[in-house]
Structure 1
């Protein structure tokens, strides 16, 4: 620097604004070097909502597994567990999905709902490419609508018959194969026990309240007398047959004889409690009943045949998990679904006896088969399981089922004959069928 430049530099440095600028730049450099790195990038934690409103241990497992997953994945997870009936859940989900709301990401769907909600559910094939071989096939078949896989089975279920092993042994009776044999054994034990002072004992209880459970029972009666399907794959109504009439007449014959009038108000829990209190010889229920009735000496049977030439027919039940197509985080939701329907969670579900696993491979494991008496029967039951006509009737299914349970309930209450009920069901279903027929 020459002798003339030095005085100019000294002069500039002495000016107030230059001093201020220098101080500001220095402070900025110091702050940038000392500020925490975390403050530089603000990470937004994703939020997800799952409805774990399943009954019993299945609901507990859903909640516990989901919470552990959320901690691992650093997800802000909201878990709902409101005590709602299936009808109330259906109404709630219909409202949310119909509005295109992103409020709910993952939720349980009853066996009939994939077809009802098919327009609003996320396609899952890309997330579960091996679903067809990994899970029980009938559920994948049911949950696939128009070639789109819409739900993954979580807790599988099928109708079965529980019976008092101690009472059948006491009176030298063998487990029944047909409805006639069941009625005969039930009446015999009921009479003997009442004569011995057990006045409150009845032969057979099931779910006869006017709700979906009665439709499930009706389906089994009709199937056992080879009257299934009463709506075929082309949407044709075939309910006005002698087989359906025989099935209804058989059920009516139990009322007041081996079945108490109270069953007209029985849903699942009511029938379980009646049996648990030692008031029934036979109980038709789902596998989930085992956790509530296992303190009573109990065996498990296939649903009886209508005749020796009939078939053991069980209604397919259970719950699957689906993702709303309006979810803001479909990839995360699918990851949670994979965890809930994965090997660890499904093994836990099976070992508690509080549910039946959806993974086919688990039914080959001795520890699973020993966990609950119905597990060894599950594959036989599923081979003969009946699908409710939701895939063909779709959005109409809730109304179709209501028309069935309403008329069947009136028969059991002796408010109309089986013939009148069948005629009314046929007329109502035929009127609706113009929307389904292919």
Structure 2
């Protein structure tokens, strides 16, 4: 990891030394082939229209290394980057180092809206993602079962199909695979289990809402899946591990992100044409469909020498025309609500018709409420949830202990969600 950061930092220093023109922007983009190709074509179109130039820098494939890289770049005396592609979980800690984005009249069309920290807009949503339920449509049809609406329904159907298929010789089939590794992925799963009454660790008001009956029941329910409908190894699984099990035909249900849809239906996939997707189940079937929001954002360095040009490019990249082209070309979920029902967008991404209800009720992780403390909050919560899943009797104690720790952190004056904390954070960001 350190070697990778050093190489990129050295490359950025060389690049910065070569830049001289007033309208020259440096933009970080994903290193994946599809996204880099879209970044290149979109920024080139803006360059031709404005006369400015753009240099793209590919990010490391391991996104776990990018946050420390960004921290180093944004803290440097001379800014080596103008625009950054950011995972939503990084926004709270990077916000003090990001430039202010002037509001625009059509910001209300963005969902979720621009990220605000200490009263400043610092990031624009670029494209969306959301936690979803993938299922073996052929197996549900075989056993005449509906798509589960509640977690209890899912457990019952998973057990029924798993046991029946194993009895017919498929001993490797499991009912449900998900992400139990001690990481951000587990935070996402847990918040989806909790439901509206179980809270989101920290409420929008800044109040810690973790220690409650619904959260305790959710963790106990998930712990009961392990070894029954979910393999014990699920506690070490991330998204790709879960996808591998599901795509190889060894699971009935899977929780994952939108990217898994195209891969599961690739002609080379063993389950191509047999997969369905739906909003995740809920604690109570009567609750609206929900999934954790996985939006990717754009922001600019606070020390950029070209704030007007950087803002112009970000506004172009998040415009209706570019987002429409991006979903048609690359099957990205647009961040603009007004595009979700357009026929060409629906044709390019058919799953939108099924998951649109979940997009209307995203579960937001508490990045805005916890500010620069979010990485620490997430690390503590993920470890606590993991421990509770391993020891089914530990959930109440774990949640109570975590809530107490977060209360102490909140009162240190670092969390902008509490009125008394706002001035302290403002001082930190100016």
* Counterpart for residue 128 of structure 2: 156
* Counterpart for residue 155 of structure 2: 183
Distance in 2, matches of 1:133 and 1:123, equals 17
Distance in 2, matches of 1:212 and 1:206, equals 13
**Gap change, CA 1:233 and 1:73, over 3 Å in 2:** closer
* Counterpart for residue 34 of structure 1: none
Task: Give the C-alpha shift of residue 311 in structure 1.
Answer: 4.5
Distance in 2, matches of 1:202 and 1:177, equals 19
**Gap change, CA 1:61 and 1:405, over 3 Å in 2:** same
Distance in 1, matches of 2:125 and 2:165, equals 42
* Counterpart for residue 259 of structure 1: 230
* Counterpart for residue 78 of structure 1: 55
Which deviates further from its counterpart, 164-173 or 47-56? 47-56
Instruction: Work out whether residues 53 and 81 of structure 1, in 8 Å CA contact, stay in contact via their aligned partners in 2.
Output: yes
**Gap change, CA 1:299 and 1:186, over 3 Å in 2:** same
**Gap change, CA 1:44 and 1:236, over 3 Å in 2:** closer
Instruction: Work out whether residues 116 and 368 of structure 2, in 8 Å CA contact, stay in contact via their aligned partners in 1.
Output: no
Task: Give the C-alpha shift of residue 318 in structure 1.
Answer: 1.5
Instruction: Work out whether residues 268 and 285 of structure 1, in 8 Å CA contact, stay in contact via their aligned partners in 2.
Output: yes
Task: Give the C-alpha shift of residue 370 in structure 1.
Answer: 2.7
* Counterpart for residue 430 of structure 1: 407
* 1:192 matches 2:164: yes
Distance in 2, matches of 1:360 and 1:309, equals 24
Task: Give the C-alpha shift of residue 414 in structure 1.
Answer: 3.5
* Counterpart for residue 202 of structure 1: 174
Per-residue CA deviation, residues 310-332 of structure 1 (Å, 9 max, x unaligned), is 45331111201111121122222
* Counterpart for residue 106 of structure 2: 131
Picking from 46, 61, 71, the partner of 1:94 is 71
Which deviates further from its counterpart, 103-112 or 113-122? 113-122
Distance in 1, matches of 2:29 and 2:122, equals 18
Task: Give the C-alpha shift of residue 412 in structure 1.
Answer: 2.5
Distance in 2, matches of 1:186 and 1:91, equals 40
Distance in 2, matches of 1:45 and 1:422, equals 53
Instruction: Work out whether residues 134 and 275 of structure 2, in 8 Å CA contact, stay in contact via their aligned partners in 1.
Output: yes
* 1:385 matches 2:362: yes
Task: Give the C-alpha shift of residue 265 in structure 1.
Answer: 2.2
* 1:245 matches 2:237: no
SS of corresponding position for 2:198: coil
Distance in 2, matches of 1:259 and 1:157, equals 24
Distance in 1, matches of 2:123 and 2:333, equals 17
Distance in 1, matches of 2:235 and 2:33, equals 24
Distance in 2, matches of 1:279 and 1:373, equals 25
Task: Give the C-alpha shift of residue 387 in structure 1.
Answer: 1.2
* Counterpart for residue 239 of structure 2: 268
Distance in 2, matches of 1:235 and 1:188, equals 42
SS of corresponding position for 2:64: helix
SS of corresponding position for 2:297: strand
Distance in 2, matches of 1:245 and 1:44, equals 57
* 1:219 matches 2:196: no
**Gap change, CA 1:243 and 1:271, over 3 Å in 2:** same
SS of corresponding position for 2:294: strand
* Counterpart for residue 428 of structure 2: none
**Gap change, CA 1:269 and 1:329, over 3 Å in 2:** same
Distance in 1, matches of 2:167 and 2:247, equals 21
Task: Give the C-alpha shift of residue 410 in structure 1.
Answer: 1.8
* Counterpart for residue 372 of structure 1: 349
* 1:171 matches 2:148: no
Per-residue CA deviation, residues 70-100 of structure 1 (Å, 9 max, x unaligned), is 4555544321223343432111112222335
Picking from 395, 417, 420, the partner of 1:418 is 395
In structure 1, the gaps of 5 or more residues are 1-42
Distance in 2, matches of 1:316 and 1:49, equals 28
* Counterpart for residue 361 of structure 1: 338
**Gap change, CA 1:359 and 1:58, over 3 Å in 2:** farther
* 1:317 matches 2:332: no
* Counterpart for residue 12 of structure 1: none
Distance in 2, matches of 1:100 and 1:376, equals 48
Per-residue CA deviation, residues 370-428 of structure 1 (Å, 9 max, x unaligned), is 32233124441122211111111100001001111011112233387212321221222
| RMSD, aligned CA | 2.3
**Gap change, CA 1:292 and 1:101, over 3 Å in 2:** farther
Distance in 2, matches of 1:100 and 1:90, equals 18
Instruction: Work out whether residues 300 and 373 of structure 1, in 8 Å CA contact, stay in contact via their aligned partners in 2.
Output: no
